[in-house]
């Protein structure tokens, strides 16, 4: 789970496609697509969407979870997991809380130190730069799209990044909505996020991304280390 937060921070902080196309281009079509995506997400202030998270690993059976995702500039996110078990992953842009009601536990860390798979989604809000953080972007010619008519891209990390081998991004060419992200780990595991009912610029309040530890709940992380 740790490696994904790092990828998601790249994908949800300032401008999802904030890079000049020249190092990544293989065609005029790709250049135009990247420019259009950059323009769209540079104007997004917040997002609300339903998500399904599918996890596959060579070492264990597949599993799926679903819920609602909220994103807001600058770098705020809230993952409300509804099924199969309720849990909450929320960040105000500086601190991350992962609340597990069934365990009566909260895991607390800073965004800077976290390497969770959800962090890269902050790239959708401009906290990342594909030119800086990835070595190459290309069409995923061998990948079947999840939604009919969509386009699919692969982004490859620069040398020295040991968390993942590539990231898949699927978008709707008409609306330019990013509807699927898949993160490929070096160990063969995959985490796929599929988004539906996407709503932009809903005027989400910053209070939605605050978290207060419920009474009687154990805190693991920053507060524990400071004692």
**Alpha carbons within 13 A on the beta-carbon side of 175:** 14
The pLDDT of residue 112 is 76
Which residues, 6+ apart, have CB-to-CB distance to 150 below 8 Å?
170, 171, 172, 173, 179, 180
Q: Give the residue-averaged pLDDT of 209-220.
A: 93
Lowest mean pLDDT among 18-27, 124-133, 168-177: 18-27
Nearest CA among 8, 34, 13 for reference residue 139: 34
The pLDDT of residue 24 is 46
With respect to CATH, is domain 2-222 assigned 2.50.20.10?
yes
Q: Contact at 8 Å (CB) between 19 and 42?
A: no
Q: Where do the structural domains in the chain lie, given as residue ranges? A: 2-222
Taking only the tens place, the pLDDT of each residue in 15-55 is 333 333 334 445 788 888 877 887 788 788 999 999 999 99
**Who has greater pLDDT, 196 or 141?**
196
d(CA 89, CA 211): 10
The pLDDT of residue 13 is 47
Q: Contact at 8 Å (CB) between 155 and 131?
A: no
The pLDDT of residue 120 is 55
d(CA 16, CA 208): 22
């Amino acid at each position: 789970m740790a490696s994904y937060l790092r990828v998601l921070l790249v994908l949800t902080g300032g401008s999802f496609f904030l890079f000049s196309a020249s190092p990544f281009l293989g065609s005029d079509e790709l250049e135009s697509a990247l420019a259009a995506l950059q323009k769209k997400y540079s104007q997004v202030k917040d997002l609300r969407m339903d998500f399904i998270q599918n996890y596959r690993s060579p070492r264990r059976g597949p599993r799926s979870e679903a819920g609602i995702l909220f994103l807001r500039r600058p770098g705020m996110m809230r993952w409300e997991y509804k099924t199969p078990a309720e849990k909450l992953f929320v960040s105000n842009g500086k601190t991350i809380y992962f609340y597990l009601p069934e365990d009566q536990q909260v895991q607390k860390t800073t965004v800077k130190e976290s390497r969770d798979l959800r962090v890269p989604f902050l790239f959708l809000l401009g906290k990342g730069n594909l030119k800086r953080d990835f070595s190459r972007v290309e069409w995923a010619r061998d990948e079947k799209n999840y939604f009919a008519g969509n386009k699919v891209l692969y982004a490859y990390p620069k040398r020295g990044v040991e968390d993942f081998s590539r990231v898949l991004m699927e978008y709707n060419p008409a609306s330019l909505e990013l509807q699927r992200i898949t993160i490929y780990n070096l160990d063969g595991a995959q985490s796929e996020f599929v988004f539906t009912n996407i709503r932009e610029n809903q005027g989400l309040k910053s209070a939605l991304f605050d978290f207060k530890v419920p009474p009687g709940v154990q805190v693991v992380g920053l507060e524990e280390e400071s004692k």
